[in-house]
Amino acid sequence: MPELPEVEVVRLGLLPAMSDAVIRGVDVVDRRALTRHVGDTDSFEALLRDRRVVSVARRGKFLWMPLAGDATPEQALIAHLGMSGQLLLREVDAPRERHERVRLVIDHPMHGEVAVVFADQRTFGSLAVDSLVATLDGRAGGWGTEASSVPSQVAHIARDPLDDAFVDAAFTLEVRRRRSAIKRVLLDQTVVSGIGNIYADEALWGARVHPETPSDRLSVRAVTRLLGDVRGVLHRALAEGGTSFDAQYVNVNGQAGYFAHSLSAYGRTGLACPRCGRAIVRVAFTNRSSHFCPVCQRMRR
């Protein structure tokens, strides 16, 4: 499941291939991959053809590639991987991927022609061409861009916890203002972006916080510690190339990440808590699951 570390690994892989490359070919194999695109398939193709990619940027789980040109406002190709989306670099004549949805052929001044394949089993991911809007705080839109702008479809998403412009005090205030379970708040991309089910469970385990704890019951100290654990687990996962749990997530070369071996709670139902040895439990949480240690993460009054 691509969350911030996995999306960042993809960004880092695309960066040398796509920066300064010109999009020469656009082949939409399955138009469901364009659910975020306002306009039809033809407009998607026309907006991309012969445009030069300036950079590869990311905020939370969103990727975007600003496009050179005279368009005002400026435009970008945006990508969200959803649950199972992959962006793969392939030879131009490589056979179709199993779940290939879109193929771009790009021409790089140093590397020549390369195919950028968007494949997505469960079709929750999508690509689009979107216009850029100014950031509210005037800071850079996210990692990988100096420009103080983000795609309009990313504007309502909060900055992620690795972003220099993330404001810890505002996050703490917002968490303690909310009245739902802390895990819900961590997953709310308008509060903090980039966290999904895996890293929410891991960060809560690290901070010894029960996932159902009402977020307005957490002290400033507890929220601060939790934010530290969020950052810690995101950094460690990034250093190990991300978490490849069900073989859906791979980097641009099709390789899995190693962080699944380092998980403490997520997916470890019935296995020993690495801290206290008690079995990790799994409970239903909306339409997904929470994994936590019933001893280390007791709910406190």
Partner DNA sequence: CATATTTCCTGCCTGC
Partner DNA sequence: TGCAGGCAGGAAATAT
Contacts with DNA by CB under 7 A lie at 1-3, 32, 60-62, 80, 82-83, 98-99, 121-124, 153, 156, 177-181, 184, 187, 189, 193, 196-198, 266, 282, 286-289
Candidate list 177, 288, 298, 300, residue with the active-site label = 288
Measured distance CA(218)–CA(153) in Å, rounded: 31
- Least CB distance from residue 178 to DNA, whole Å? 4
Which residue, 19 or 152, has its beta carbon nearer to DNA?
Answer: 152
Given the complex with DNA, which of 94 and 155 has the nearer CB atom? 155
Name the residue with tokens 């010894």: 208
Hey, is 230 helix, strand or coil? Answer: helix
Nearest residue (CB) to DNA, 50 versus 246: 246
Report, in Å, the least distance between residue 124 CB and DNA: 4
* Rounded CA separation 298/264 (Å): 16
CB of 52 to DNA, least distance (A): 27
Residue with the two structure tokens 């009054």: 301
Q: How far is the CB of 111 from DNA (least distance, A)?
A: 30
Q: Which is nearer to DNA, 3 or 163 (CB)?
A: 3
Residue closest to 240 by CA, chosen among 257, 224, 225, 217:
257
124 burial (CB, 10 Å; 0-12 / 13-18 / 19+) is middle
Nearest of 201, 203, 198 to residue 227 by alpha carbon:
203
Q: Residue 9 Cβ, how far from DNA at the closest point, in Å?
A: 15
Question: Residue 74 in contact with residue 131, Cβ under 8 Å?
Answer: yes
The one catalytic residue in 61, 90, 101, 183 is 61
Active site (annotated) includes residue 97: no
Which lies closer to DNA via its Cβ, residue 1 or residue 222? 1
Burial of 156 (0-12, 13-18, 19+ CB in 10 A): exposed
Asked if 61 and 7 touch (Cβ cutoff 8 Å), the reply is: yes
Least distance (Å) between residue 134 CB and DNA = 19
- Residue 226: its H or E element: helix 220-239
- Specify whether 3 is catalytic: yes
In single-letter form, the type of residue at position 134 comes to A
Q: Which is nearer to DNA, 7 or 47 (CB)?
A: 7
Q: What is the DSSP letter of 158?
A: P
Half-sphere exposure of 293 (CA within 13 A, CB side): 22
Residues annotated catalytic, as ranges: 2-3, 61, 288
